[in-house]
């Protein structure tokens, strides 16, 4: 298996960074609408642009979430839907979402 230099640098940055983001988890909770459609469904798979499992966000490292969103926004990660969503987020939005999800928040699947 080949691991990209970019993926390794994000992983190292996430490990070196503090566990919490500089965001507001309560504000992040209010911004999860676009995330919940895919990341809030246990075991969800998407078929665009190819079939794959959608990763769970709850409990992820805050710095990792921010770096991933920044990479999608900048084009360093190439997923069309995530690029479009990340492009609409401000730096503060990213921090708030990261604070919310890193606290172990789990989106309720269609209940």
Query: Under a CB-based contact definition with an 8 Å cutoff, are residues 86 and 69 in contact?
Result: yes
- Give the pLDDT confidence score for residue 78 in this predicted structure: 86
pLDDT 10s digits, 63-106: 999 999 999 999 999 888 899 999 999 999 999 999 999 998 55
- Give the pLDDT confidence score for residue 18 in this predicted structure: 46
Domain ranges of the chain: 5-102
CATH topology for 5-102?
Cytochrome Bc1 Complex; Chain D, domain 2 (1.10.760)
């Amino acid at each position: 298996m080949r691991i990209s230099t970019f993926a390794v640098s994000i992983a190292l940055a996430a490990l070196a960074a503090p566990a919490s983001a500089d965001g507001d988890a309560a504000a992040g909770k209010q911004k999860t609408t676009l995330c919940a459609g895919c990341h809030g469904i246990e075991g969800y798979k998407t078929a665009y642009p190819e079939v794959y499992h959608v990763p769970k966000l709850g409990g992820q490292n805050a710095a990792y979430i921010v770096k991933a969103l920044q990479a999608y926004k900048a084009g360093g990660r190439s997923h069309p839907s995530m690029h479009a969503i990340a492009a609409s987020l401000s730096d503060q939005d990213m921090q708030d979402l990261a604070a919310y999800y890193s606290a172990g928040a789990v989106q309720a699947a269609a209940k």
